[in-house]
Amino acid sequence: MDTKKSIQKYLEELSSNLPTPGGGNVAALCGALSASLGTMVCNLTIGKKKYLDVESEMNELKQKLHPYIDKFISLAKSDNEAFERVMDAFKLPKETDEQKKLRSEAIEKSTFEAAYVPAEVIKNCREVITLLEPVSKKGNQNSLSDAGVAIAVIAAASEGAFLNVLINYSSLNEKQKASQLLIQSENLNNEVKEEAHFLLSEITAKIRGN
Amino acid sequence: MDTKKSIQKYLEELSSNLPTPGGGNVAALCGALSASLGTMVCNLTIGKKKYLDVESEMNELKQKLHPYIDKFISLAKSDNEAFERVMDAFKLPKETDEQKKLRSEAIEKSTFEAAYVPAEVIKNCREVITLLEPVSKKGNQNSLSDAGVAIAVIAAASEGAFLNVLINYSSLNEKQKASQLLIQSENLNNEVKEEAHFLLSEITAKIRGN
Residue A208 has pLDDT above 70, yes or no: yes
Whether residues A36 and B15 touch (CB distance < 8 A) is answered with yes
**Which of B16, B44, B164 shows the shortest C-beta gap to A43?**
B16
Q: What is the pLDDT of residue A210?
A: 56
Whether residues B11 and A36 touch (CB distance < 8 A) is answered with yes
Residue of A nearest to B206 (CA): A167
Residue A180 has pLDDT above 60, yes or no: yes
Q: Which of B58, B26, B34 lies closest to B139, judged by CA?
A: B58
The rounded distance, in Å, linking the Cα atoms of B81 and A150 is 21
Assign B210 a pLDDT band (cuts: 50, 70, 90): low
Gap from B111 CA to chain A (nearest CA, Å): 13
Whether residues A8 and B6 touch (CB distance < 8 A) is answered with no
Residue of A nearest to B35 (CA): A15
Choose, out of A66, A111, A149, the residue to mutate when testing the contact with B (most B CBs < 10 Å): A149
Whether residues B146 and A40 touch (CB distance < 8 A) is answered with no
Choose, out of A26, A55, A66, A131, the residue to mutate when testing the contact with B (most B CBs < 10 Å): A26
Residue B79 has pLDDT above 90, yes or no: yes
Cα–Cα distance list, A177 to A38, A111, A112, A122, A189 (Å): 36, 12, 9, 19, 20
**Which of A36, A39, A167 shows the shortest C-beta gap to B207?**
A167
Gap from B148 CA to chain A (nearest CA, Å): 7
Q: Give me the phi and psi of A127, to 5 degrees please.
A: -70, -40
- Find residue A6's DSSP bridge partners: B6
User: What percent of chain A shows pLDDT beyond 90?
Assistant: 96
Per the model's pLDDT, the better-predicted residue between B38 and B19 turns out to be B38
Identify the weakest region by mean pLDDT among A63-67, B17-21, B36-40, B127-131: B17-21
How many residue pairs from chains A and B have C-beta atoms closer than 8 A? 200
Q: What is the dihedral angle through the alpha carbons of B1, B2, B8, B11, rounded to the nearest 10 degrees?
A: 0
Residue B167 and residue A144 in contact, taking contact as beta carbons nearer than 8 Å:
yes
Residue B45 has pLDDT above 70, yes or no: yes
Whether residues B7 and A8 touch (CB distance < 8 A) is answered with no
Q: Which of A62, A64, A67 lies closest to A46, judged by CA?
A: A62
Q: What is the pLDDT of residue B177?
A: 84
Residue of A nearest to B8 (CA): A3
Kindly list the residues from chain B whose CB atom is less than 8 angstroms away from the CB atom of residue A170: 207-208, 210
The rounded distance, in Å, linking the Cα atoms of B86 and B147 is 37
Residue A56 has pLDDT above 60, yes or no: yes
Residue B87 has pLDDT above 70, yes or no: yes
Q: Give me the phi and psi of B6, to 5 degrees please.
A: -75, 155
The rounded distance, in Å, linking the Cα atoms of A26 and A157 is 8
The rounded distance, in Å, linking the Cα atoms of A37 and A135 is 10
Residue A177 has pLDDT above 90, yes or no: no
Residue B108 and residue B177 in contact, taking contact as beta carbons nearer than 8 Å:
no
Residue of B nearest to A169 (CA): B208
**Which of A4, A146, A204 shows the shortest C-beta gap to B6?**
A4
Q: Which of A111, A132, A145 lies closest to A62, judged by CA?
A: A132
The rounded distance, in Å, linking the Cα atoms of B199 and A152 is 17
Q: What is the pLDDT of residue A19?
A: 85
Whether residues B160 and A144 touch (CB distance < 8 A) is answered with no
The rounded distance, in Å, linking the Cα atoms of A159 and A188 is 10
Whether residues B7 and A11 touch (CB distance < 8 A) is answered with no
The rounded distance, in Å, linking the Cα atoms of A208 and B48 is 50
Mean pLDDT of the B122-144 span: 98
Gap from B126 CA to chain A (nearest CA, Å): 16
pLDDT tens readout for residues A87-110: 999 999 999 999 999 999 999 999
Residue of B nearest to A147 (CA): B23
The rounded distance, in Å, linking the Cα atoms of A27 and B170 is 31
Q: What is the pLDDT of residue A199?
A: 98
Cα–Cα distance list, B104 to A183, B86, B172 (Å): 55, 11, 10
**What is the distance in angstroms between the CA of the first residue and the CA of the last residue of chain A?**
42
DSSP H/E element including B163: helix B144-170
- CA of residue B110 relative to chain centroid, distance: 20
Residue of B nearest to A27 (CA): B149
Whether residues B163 and A204 touch (CB distance < 8 A) is answered with yes
Choose, out of B26, B74, B128, the residue to mutate when testing the contact with A (most A CBs < 10 Å): B26
Q: What is the pLDDT of residue B25?
A: 97
Residue type present at position A149:
V
pLDDT tens readout for residues A12-53: 999 999 989 999 999 999 999 999 999 999 999 999 999 999
Omega into B21 within 30° of 0, i.e. cis?
A: yes
Q: What is the pLDDT of residue B1?
A: 80
Mean pLDDT of the A197-208 span: 97
**What is the distance in angstroms between the CA of the first residue and the CA of the last residue of chain B?**
42
Q: Which of A159, A163, A151 lies closest to A189, judged by CA?
A: A159
ipTM of the shown complex: 0.97
